Amino acid sequence: MRTGEPLPAVGEVLVSLATGLWHWDTATGLVTVDAEAARLLGLPREETVLTEAQTRARLHPVDWNEITGVIQLAVAEGTLAEVRIRIMDDRGRVVRVVRSRSKPSFDQVKKAYELIGTLQEVTEPAPGTPAGRTAVTGDWRRSREAFLLDAGRALAEARSTEEVLRVAAGLSMPGFSPDGLAVFGVMGDRLTIIGHHGQEPGAEGPFAQMSIHTDYPAAEVVRSGRAVYLSSPEKYKERYPLTWPLASHFGRQSWAFLPLTVAGRTMGAWMAGFAYPVAFTPDERSVLTTVARMLAQALTRAGAAETQRELTDGLQRSMLPTLGPEIPGMTLAARYIPTGGGLQVGGDWYDMIPLPSGRFALVIGDVQGHDVRAAGLMGQLRIALRAYAAEGHRPDAVLSRASGFFHGINHAADGEDPDLRFATCLYIEVDPVTGVLEAARAGHLDPAIRMADGTVLVRATAGGLPLGIDPDADYPTTRLALEPGEALLLCTDGLLETGGHDLDTGWRRVRKILEAHEGDLEELADALVQAVHGPSSHHTTGPLSDRREDDIAVLLLCRQGEGGCDPGAAGAAGRAVPLRQPVRRSMLTVAQAEPERIAVARQELRELLHDWTCADQVDSAVLLVSEALTNVLVHTDADALLVAEVTGAPGERRIRIEVTDTSDDLPHKRRPGELASSGRGLVLIELLAGTWGVAPRGEGKSIWFELYEPGAQ
């Protein structure tokens, strides 16, 4: 070029200097490179646009982490960002080293970086030479610190021995990386191979079960607790002539054997083998020693976690029962999910107990706490419940005796109060022939029943104090009925409260699953657990800020019938097809001493009629039930039994309600005065019911009435 002639284009100058241009915008996540920069990255020599992921795949992972830190520092100081980057091929090998110089800027609005810079190939010293320690950024110590931070984070996140070994095999040390690794453990006076990488499967055979007194580097490290560095095959052969033939066929040039030490105890050794000579300078030894310490800590944590998981699995297998033999006409399913942390065992349990009468009992409960003590108390309480049930006691007697037993084992012999616990429990005796359930409840959640048409009702049951609080507590019994096609749900509070829910919001979440499910009982159990503990639970979190989890125990019982729970009657959609329209039936006893259960009856009736087309008729039915039950409690000395039954197809249904008592005195319709406080019950029934009547029984009587959906008559 002569004086006065125009200067050549910048691009032409850069190409002649083998320098490429690149542009990176973190807001869009795109990297634009010219033809020369593409060649340096190992791509076809043409201008192209890459994503961050595509670019990152061409760079050494340690270097990519360095780039981010250098950019942030350059923006903060207002200087150029300069880094040395190793370019990798598709097989993970370094093909060249380039130097990048750029001027980064930060957009405060987009919260993104923008860089325009150059790429130029530089000469990288051979591995193992003193100059080979040149760091990615030209600063050895900075590169070493970045590598150790990255390695420490990766090892800390490893949850098993296999994951720790995989992370160790993937570590790329700054300036020198081993091509073979082996981790030795100690069992008695023998070396064991915990894991290895870079060798053929089976190559560890000669080194497994080697005596720690053998003339072998790993054995010496275990004996002395000091590292051994061998920078050449000659030094290996000179120092360990007896075992050199075992190592010679691997074709390596340098070895480092370092102790794996935790709390002052050498638990094993780590071997790093190199395919090229390594001088093992103080800096290199410092990196290897630090990695060995982190590796020892990670292996110890992983081993402790695996031991804990084995202990947990053993406790669960020993404490949780099987559901016993198949019961004709009945289907059972159960789940136990430990989610509260710690040993992953706690006080939740379920059980199915065959009884001498030919019936069986379902039990579900929760001992306070989530620790080994809770698990131990739970095991003792479960055995006691089985023993009392096997003696033939009724549900109320079983819980009364269990409460006394639990109170006894829960108190110290010297009279001082230890860590006192209580337990909630629901005990239900089931007659598989008739479907009659007799329930006794000790502070536990009420059971729920899913009817054949998907309607779900919480069955209110009488209850007493949790077990262990009062050794003389009473537990009244409630009788329920399970119709063909209906399913019974028993659960602990973990199923409802997990994910920031209270009992109310948690029940609404679970109820949706019960109503919408169309599979068999095992699939329903899985669906319930997944709804609160699976990926979908993140979309149904509750209003509470406390999102701690609790153990989950679920027990399902289905009485097979035309309405459902019959695997052999599946329809095209996978759901059981009933031969006739399923019946909704609810039964509730209101005792003289429990007038508050009239409110429970009203609520249960509203749930039974949740999809009734006429809201006014629902209000009428609730009013009439309240009147009929109140009349029994006021005018007789007997308890009242309420039976409500819904039949027919939607839009053409009939509800029949009967209130039965043991009094033989028949009611009479009266004409109360304007100021009278009673006497309007039968008047209201006559005005609001479609039909009604009074029917004498063998002992007592029943008042019944019927309501019809519009169009049913």
| pLDDT at residue 624 in the model | 92
SS (H, E, C) 456-469: EEECCCCEECCECC
The tally of CA atoms less than 13 A away on the side-chain side of residue 319 is 24
How far is 444 from 431, CA to CA, in rounded Å?
Answer: 22
- What pLDDT digit, counting tens, does each position of 607-663 carry? 889 889 899 999 999 999 998 998 888 888 888 888 999 988 888 889 999 999 888
Give residues with Cβ within 8 angstroms of 426, minimum separation 6.
363, 364, 365, 439, 440, 441, 442, 444, 445, 447, 461, 490
> Rounded to the nearest 5°, which phi and psi values hold at 31?
-125, 120
pLDDT of residue 413: 46
pLDDT band at 581 (very low <50, low <70, confident <90, very high): low
Question: What residues form DSSP beta bridges with 464?
Answer: 442
How many Cβ atoms sit within 10 Å of the Cβ of residue 167?
A: 19
Chain segment 696-713, per-residue pLDDT in tens: 877 888 899 999 988 655
Q: Give dist(CA 660, CA 521) in Å, integer.
A: 34
Calpha distance 152→167 (Å, rounded): 10
CA 13 to chain centre: 60
Please tell me what DSSP assigns to residue 215. S
| 3-class DSSP assignment, residue 704 | strand
Per-residue pLDDT reduced to its tens digit, 413-469: 445 556 788 999 999 999 999 899 999 999 999 999 998 888 898 988 888 999 989
CA 357 to CA 367: how far, in whole Å? 29
Per residue in 234-244, pLDDT (tens digit) is 999 999 998 89
Per-residue pLDDT, averaged over 485-514, amounts to: 89
* Rg of the chain in Å (alpha carbons): 38
pLDDT level of residue 569 (50, 70, 90 thresholds)? very low
Q: What is the DSSP string of 384-421?
A: HHHHHHHTT--HHHHHHHHHHHHHHHTS-TTS---S--
Q: How many Å apart are CA 334 and CA 495, to the nearest integer?
A: 13
189 contact partners, CB below 8 Å, separation of at least 6: 211, 212, 213
Q: Which helix (H) or strand (E) covers residue 90, if one does?
A: none
Percent of the chain beyond pLDDT 90?
21
**Residue predicted with more confidence, 318 or 365:** 365
Digit-coded pLDDT (tens) for 166-188:
877 777 676 667 888 888 988 88
pLDDT at 375: 78
Check residue 337 and give its pLDDT: 82
Please give the backbone phi and psi of residue 213, each rounded to the nearest 5 degrees, phi first. Answer: -95, 0
Percent of the chain with pLDDT over 70: 83
Q: Output the six-digit token pair for 344.
A: 């992953």
The DSSP symbol for 576 reads B
Q: Rounded to whole angstroms, what are the CA distances from 699 to 39, 547, 631? A: 100, 54, 18
DSSP single-letter state for residue 667:
P
* Cα dist from 635 to 501, 550, 592, 667, whole Å: 44, 48, 11, 9
Pairing of strands 691-696, 654-661: unpaired
The token pair at 335 is 């789940």
CB 139 within 8 A of CB 63: no
pLDDT at 222 over 80: yes
pLDDT of residue 490: 95
β partners of residue 83 = 100
pLDDT (0 to 100) of residue 197: 79
- DSSP codes joined into one string, 344-366: S--SEEEEEEE-TTS-EEEEEEE
Mean pLDDT of 466-473: 89
Judge whether residue 131 has pLDDT over 60.
no
At 360 the pLDDT is 93
Task: Calculate the average pLDDT of the chain.
Answer: 81
Which uninterrupted H or E stretch holds 75? helix 61-77
The pLDDT score that the predictor gives to residue 100 is 85
pLDDT top residue among 144 and 286 = 286
Phi, psi for 294 (deg, rounded to 5): -65, -40
Q: What is the per-residue pLDDT across 249-268, written as a single tens digit (0 to 9) for each?
A: 888 899 999 999 888 888 89
DSSP category for residue 243: T
CB 274 within 8 A of CB 250: no
Give the model's pLDDT for residue 586.
84
Which comes out higher in pLDDT, residue 393 or 370?
393
* Token digits of residue 380: 């003792």
CA–CA gap between residue 430 and residue 354 (Å, rounded): 10
Q: Parallel, antiparallel, or unpaired: how do β-strands 265-274 and 487-491 relate?
A: unpaired
For residue 578, list its beta bridge partners: none
Can you tell me whether residue 81 is helix, strand or coil?
A: strand
The pTM score is 0.60
| Selected residue with higher pLDDT from 427 and 318 | 427
Average pLDDT over residues 381-400: 92
Long-range contacts of 604-609 (CB under 8 A, 24+ apart): 604/457, 604/458, 604/459, 604/460, 604/644, 605/644, 605/657, 607/455, 607/456, 607/457, 607/458, 608/455, 608/457, 608/584, 608/644, 608/646, 608/655, 609/646, 609/655
Distances (CA, A) of 658 to 25, 53, 342, 429, 438: 76, 71, 52, 25, 21
- Residue that the structure tokens 């509070």 belong to: 493
What's the pLDDT band for 138 if we cut at 50, 70, 90?
very low
Tell me the C-alpha distance between 69 and 317, whole Å: 50
Q: Looking at residue 258, what is its pLDDT? A: 92
Which residues in 561-700 belong to E strands, given as ranges?
A: 584-590, 640-647, 654-661, 691-696
Strand, helix or coil for residue 438: strand
Nearest by Cα to 460 from 602, 600, 660: 600
